[in-house]
Amino acid sequence: MQLKRVVVTGVGAISPLGNTAPDFWQALIAGQSGADYITKFDASNFKTQFACEVKDFDPLQHFGRKDARKLDPFAQYAIVASDEAIADARLNEAGNNIDRDRIGVIWSSGIGGILTFQEEAGNNIKNREAGKPPRFNPFFIPKMILDIAAGHISIKNDFRGMNFAVVSACASSTNALIDAYNYIRLGQADAIVVGGSEAAVTECGIGGFNAMRALSQRNDNPKTASRPFDLDRDGFVLGEGAGAIVLEEYEHAKKRGVEIYAELAGGGMSADAYHMTAPHPEGRGAKNVMRNALKDAEMQVEDIDYINVHGTSTPLGDVSEAKAIVSLFGKQAYQLNISATKSMTGHLLGAAGAIEALATLMAVKTDWIPPTINHFTNDPQFDAQLNFTFNKAQQRTVRAAISNTFGFGGHNASVVFKKVTE
């Protein structure tokens, strides 16, 4: 069968750098850091006392008081970011003759309602210690489960197509993008709202990742703590927020006359099949997933100008990914721009793929490469000839770009965006 083309017609963001997609993008290009000391709880007794929090987000500006209480922050972020993307794509515009049975929602999260779980468990531990019977909020389960965000987006907009959640740790929202891409190109949907959200800046989130020794502990200077590819990197910085993207069948979008940002040209998946949390030391899975994405897009390494890397600022992960790029791209690796936007946003876990796909497709649209900030000292483990776009955005023609995400469990997912041609 003839596969259909898939394009991006709407974007939305709630992020540590801004609470709209334009604000997020401008902050990325400016090289701003979203990291600071944690305000959501007292972190003074934690090994890591900072994170990339969402700022100036008041749920009562978006929801009634009763509705806000029924939603975990990860779902609040999902709904608000998707509202922006849906409005941007004009899916709910008056007189818009779309078939809502063919509009889907595929949402993702790595953890879901961790704050809700933490609060309910904590309250009932106190009840037990006081000799009181257990007492749970009737919204405990609907607030916590990570598929509920897709349900809320569907219900609010009367989108009656496929509706489900994807979870593959930090690769979750890239996997969601690939699922949505496949449904549309197979003709099973006209458009799909796809993305991811996370709100894990909590005691459990910080404490759990601290116990794994995964987080930076640079408490003296949080804004410079996320240092992908720097000699002194010491772990990732936890982030939160949401990225939302409307994917649409190309002819459907043209008929509606909406702006097209970029074309989603291909997606790849692979497994490291190596370790629960550590990447394969030679980047086996990372190389395979990029190769699979290029094959799906029917593109060659010479067609790619930019890679938005997973680049978490961990000692092992950054080395593994750089090795994979050199191994797959060969001499073309030295013609690429490479950047790790987690240096600015922190690591949004299950939402990382969506927010970084947004950064990648905007690079394709605008011909600007966001930087890898906080580079101070070269690490001899990395080839000095690779262009990691250190510290300052760079302007160049971006014909096509790859966005990589890798998750605990060895899950790898990559997508390829390219400029739209007739």
Domain borders along the chain are 7-111+146-416
The class (CATH top level) of 7-111+146-416 is alpha beta
* Catalytic residue, candidates 52, 152, 170, 411: 170
Catalytic residue among 152, 252, 280, 347: 347
Residue 200 is predicted with a pLDDT of 98
Alpha-carbon 273 to chain mean position:
23
Catalytic site residue from 252, 310, 375, 411: 310
Backbone angles phi, psi at 306, to 5 degrees: -150, 140
Calculate the CA 293 to chain-centre distance.
Answer: 17
CA distance 350 to 108: 6
Q: In this structure, are residues 76 and 59 in contact, taking their beta carbons and an 8 Å threshold?
A: yes
Cross-strand pairs, 105: 163, 193
Q: Is 204 a catalytic residue?
A: no
CA dist., res. 419 & res. 266, Å (int): 13
43: Cβ–Cβ under 8 A, 6 or more apart, which residues? 37, 49, 50, 206
Residue 122 is predicted with a pLDDT of: 92
Residues (pLDDT < 50) of the chain are none
Angle CA 264–180–268, to nearest 5: 60
**Phi, psi for residue 160 in degrees, rounded to 5:** -110, 15
C-alpha 148/C-alpha 168 separation (Å) is: 16
| 169 contacts: CB under 8 Å, gap ≥ 6 | 110, 349, 350, 407, 408, 409, 411
Query: Is residue 347 flagged as an active site residue?
Result: yes
For 167-195, letters b (16+ CB in 10 Å) and e give bbbbbbbbbbbbbbbebbbeeebbbbbbb
- Please count the residues of the chain: 422
The predicted model scores a pTM of: 0.97
pLDDT at residue 295, as a whole number: 98
pLDDT of residue 373: 98
